[in-house]
Structure 1
Amino acid sequence: MLDDSLKTQLQQYMGLLRQPLRLIASLDDSSASQDMRGLLDDIVAAGGGKITLDTSGDDARKPSFVIAREGQDHGVRFAGLPLGHEFESLVLALLWTGGHPPKVAQDVIDSITAIDGKYSFDVYMSLTCHNCPDVVQALALMAILNPKISTTVIEGGTFQQEVEQRQVMAVPMVFQGGEMFDSGRMSLEQIVAKLDTGAVAREAEKIKAKDAFDVLVVGGGPAGAAAAIYAARKGIRTGVAAERFGGQVLDTMAIENFISVQHTEGPKLAAALEAHVREYEVDIMNLQRAAKLVPAGADGLVEVQLENGASLKSKTVILSTGARWRQMNVPGEDEYRNKGVAYCPHCDGPLFKGKRVAVIGGGNSGVEAA
């Protein structure tokens, strides 16, 4: 199923497994199930004896398989082939289930394991969606760390009838307990905060306790990252308040005009920006939306009020709020966003295969979308 290059990569990654796994497959006689069996055989072969295959699964979604620790049946389920952009999600799910530690802050891990109550997530994705892996990986990790959480990752092209029944018109789209949970790009921290109702209040209290900054950057896109790096390199106390670090770059598929880098993808560039900023002593406050800017008072400090009720103060504030996707501003656009109105042909295009689609825009983006 996999080419020689991917098999070699997979074998290298599976060498990091710390405990044995088993794959529990639910298959039928379809060609899709045959392809999945080929993928599962490749995974077992790459596991060096640490991975076994059980084909006795009886899940209603076929083809699908669960990644579980040896002796258990709880784990992440993939319905349809997790290839394309989701191959990385598959590899990470194998590694995390096999005991390899995730690169996630310990306080986030603690928040996940502390979530009480049972949650059952279905996340719909397409193999060409570059926004989907973040959501898939976040929900997969939550199911691996907390046995009260279950996650099924569904490839929309394989389960087209289910997609139509649930009126999935944009990906990633997440259901919880059969009800719509959210759609679009979401970080692990955003999902955890949505489940943990006290997280926002606790974060607000932490922010209120922070001392004033020398420089506070509002915005976490390329401009905000550059401003933070330049300030921090001077040895002054620097903070960044960002609604989501990376900004609109996170939603960009291909970047070919960033000088010295011939080609990259938005999420990779955003991750590199954040990693560069974290090389310095910069206080990054993510998932924080600024609501109001208050000019300097008698203390000489500018105040930035956040939507969660907390405030930050600084001698200097740099506003780098970036841009947003252009909208038509016509009646119905907001109501039908992600319900027929889409902004990413790479992500959502496969859901409209065989249907009549109108593309708004005659520039290069419109032509590429068409």
Structure 2
Amino acid sequence: MILDAQLTEALRAHLPKIVQPIELVASLDDSATSTKITELLGELDVLSSDINTRTDGDDERRPSFRITRVDDPAVSVTFGGVPLGHEFTSLVLALLQVGGHPSTADPELLDQIRNIEGTHRFETFFSQSCQNCPDVVQALNLMSILNPNIEHVAIDGAAFQDEVEAREVMAVPTVFRNGESFGQGRMTLEELVAMLDSGSADRAVEKINELDPFDVLIVGGGPAGSSAAVYAARKGLRTGVVAERFGGQLLDTMGIENLISNPYTEGPKLAAELESNVRDHDVEVITAQRAERLEAADSAGGLHTIALESGAALQSRSIILATGARWRKIDVPGEAEYANRGVAYCPHCDGPLYKGKRTAVIGGGNSGVEAAIDLAGIVDHVTLIEFDHQLRADEVLQAKLRSLPNVTIITSAMTTEVVGDGKKVTSLVYRDRNDDSEHTVELEGIFVQIGLLPNTEWLDGTIALSKHNEIEIDSHGATSIPGVFAAGDCTTVPFKQIVVSMGAGSTAMLSAFDHLIRTSDASVPA
């Protein structure tokens, strides 16, 4: 059985939403993956009378299978390999949407997709353990279903190692269009449409500039921003959220086991739940926009302005900054040049691409040691490099790491250079801090896990920041600018945890509400 009881029950609940018959056509070879595809299609076939399966497909890429609408064969998507793991949701959505179940995306955006001109044949390489990949796969699948000019094939890199090597795919998701490189990393549906529709950016700016001022504008869509938005909306305030992507760093987080009342969840799932919770309230959500500048109000009770990189601007009587943090880089020669060509920051996403290869993890904290443990089960060898004289991870993690036969631990080591051949990483150079000797580690992949940096560069010179560039806040979440509050990982709060950020978001919003009461000439909704 390919589908366990839980996945089977999930399908039983969703497949009745199919309203137009679909056909699953497999193109097979003699590989183990073909056997899995055959089993998967057989299990899907018995779950719905609207699904018919065949194994006589003629696609050149094998093993793969195509999902096609029987009455309109132009409506189809293709999977190369078996879309399980994080891609199971992509499979379910593809079955439903090819089967006529409507998308819940913004109708205006769907019309944009239908009107995209030109021929676009997309190929997306994913890994089943990548939490960033489903957004891209699902977005391109939907676009191919809505527009006959667009085709999409989602390819499991682990099942097509030769093709991964030949096309120099070293990070997922990696997208090709018409055989040429198109993009890497998480891309939302809105971002993908904007890349194909040159006029969409101008229309977005015009739409944003037409919005009336908010009572509370939240910059950032992670746990802190979501909490603030829900609290603000429940107070009856005119509330807006502007963010590059909803979910923030959660989208790059795997297992979450310390969220009170929820024994286990995963970052993308929690991010989707937060977004759903926010959208259930009267909140204006603006995504795919990056803040560029904060312009403080001239007087108490005046309007603050958030200028966006797109050229648009938003105004609000109060602001909550919840921009979160991002992975810290090692900032050595070669790192930027070989980013996504051997230098990676998500072992869960990109680890499967390095099967049987030599890799390194930089960082000996919990994240680094966990990454090394995970990679050790996939790659040939892992070298963990830590700047300090000892690892900083929890003892239980260290014990597990030291028990693995294909792991080398190097402490008191400072990474000084990433070396490559112009196409991909070939080695890493480090300096032994005990005797200043220099050493080279031959490898093909480097995973950087050395902590976080707050997303606050755009605020430099306009608001008080700590020496670590965190936004300085008091116990109420107030910043150095009256009417501007902050919450979450971008602030001086000492603990960077999801549950802390959620609490901080609600604290900042309640403080903003108090500020509005005290500075507004008109009554504030209660």
AA paired with 2:242?
A: A
CA displacement, residues 89-123 of structure 1 (integer Å, 9 cap, x when unaligned): 11110111111112212112111111111100000
Tell me how far apart the structure 2 counterparts of residues 231 and 4 of structure 1 sit (CA, whole Å).
Answer: 42
CA displacement, residues 58-107 of structure 1 (integer Å, 9 cap, x when unaligned): 21111111100114443101111111221221111011111111221211
- What residue is the counterpart of 1:368 in the other structure? 370
- What residue is the counterpart of 2:314 in the other structure? 312
Matched, 1:155 2:120: no
- What residue is the counterpart of 1:285 in the other structure? 286
- C-alpha deviation, 1:4, in angstroms: 5.2
Contact in 1 for aligned 2:244/2:288 (Cα 8 Å) = yes
- What residue is the counterpart of 1:356 in the other structure? 358
Computing the radius of gyration from Cα coordinates, the structure with the larger value is: 2
Tell me how far apart the structure 1 counterparts of residues 106 and 142 of structure 2 sit (CA, whole Å).
Answer: 13
Tell me how far apart the structure 2 counterparts of residues 4 and 358 of structure 1 sit (CA, whole Å).
Answer: 34
- Matches of residues 29-40 of structure 1 in structure 2 within 5 Å? 29-40=30-41
- Farther-moved stretch of structure 1 (305-314 vs 226-235): 226-235
- Matches of residues 75-114 of structure 1 in structure 2 within 5 Å? 75-114=76-115
- What residue is the counterpart of 1:343 in the other structure? 345
Contact in 1 for aligned 2:87/2:128 (Cα 8 Å) = yes
Task: Give the SS at the match of 1:157.
Answer: helix
Tell me how far apart the structure 1 counterparts of residues 213 and 163 of structure 2 sit (CA, whole Å).
Answer: 52
AA paired with 2:318?
A: T
Q: Which residue, out of 324, 347, 366, partners 1:322?
A: 324
- What residue is the counterpart of 2:117 in the other structure? 116
- Matches of residues 291-302 of structure 1 in structure 2 within 5 Å? 291-297=292-298, 300-302=302-304
Tell me how far apart the structure 2 counterparts of residues 229 and 163 of structure 1 sit (CA, whole Å).
Answer: 43
Tell me how far apart the structure 2 counterparts of residues 251 and 4 of structure 1 sit (CA, whole Å).
Answer: 26
Specify which structure has the higher proportion of strand.
Answer: 2
Unaligned runs of 5+ in 2: 373-526
Tell me how far apart the structure 2 counterparts of residues 11 and 276 of structure 1 sit (CA, whole Å).
Answer: 25
- C-alpha deviation, 1:338, in angstroms: 1.1
Contact in 1 for aligned 2:21/2:71 (Cα 8 Å) = no
AA paired with 1:57?
A: G
Task: Give the SS at the match of 2:344.
Answer: coil
Sequence identity of aligned pairs in percent? Answer: 57
Tell me how far apart the structure 2 counterparts of residues 47 and 279 of structure 1 sit (CA, whole Å).
Answer: 32
AA paired with 2:63?
A: P
AA paired with 1:290?
A: A
**Higher relative contact order at CA 8 Å, sep ≥6: structure 1 or structure 2?**
1
AA paired with 1:267?
A: P
- C-alpha deviation, 1:241, in angstroms: 1.2
AA paired with 2:327?
A: W
| Equivalences, count | 369
- C-alpha deviation, 1:33, in angstroms: 1.5
Tell me how far apart the structure 2 counterparts of residues 178 and 264 of structure 1 sit (CA, whole Å).
Answer: 37
Tell me how far apart the structure 2 counterparts of residues 312 and 71 of structure 1 sit (CA, whole Å).
Answer: 46
Which TM-score applies when normalising by structure 2? 0.68
Taking only aligned residues, the RMSD between alpha carbons, in angstroms, comes to: 1.5
Tell me how far apart the structure 2 counterparts of residues 297 and 290 of structure 1 sit (CA, whole Å).
Answer: 20
Task: Give the SS at the match of 1:108.
Answer: helix
AA paired with 1:62?
A: R
- C-alpha deviation, 1:248, in angstroms: 0.8
- C-alpha deviation, 1:152, in angstroms: 0.4
Matched, 1:333 2:352: no
- What residue is the counterpart of 1:57 in the other structure? 57
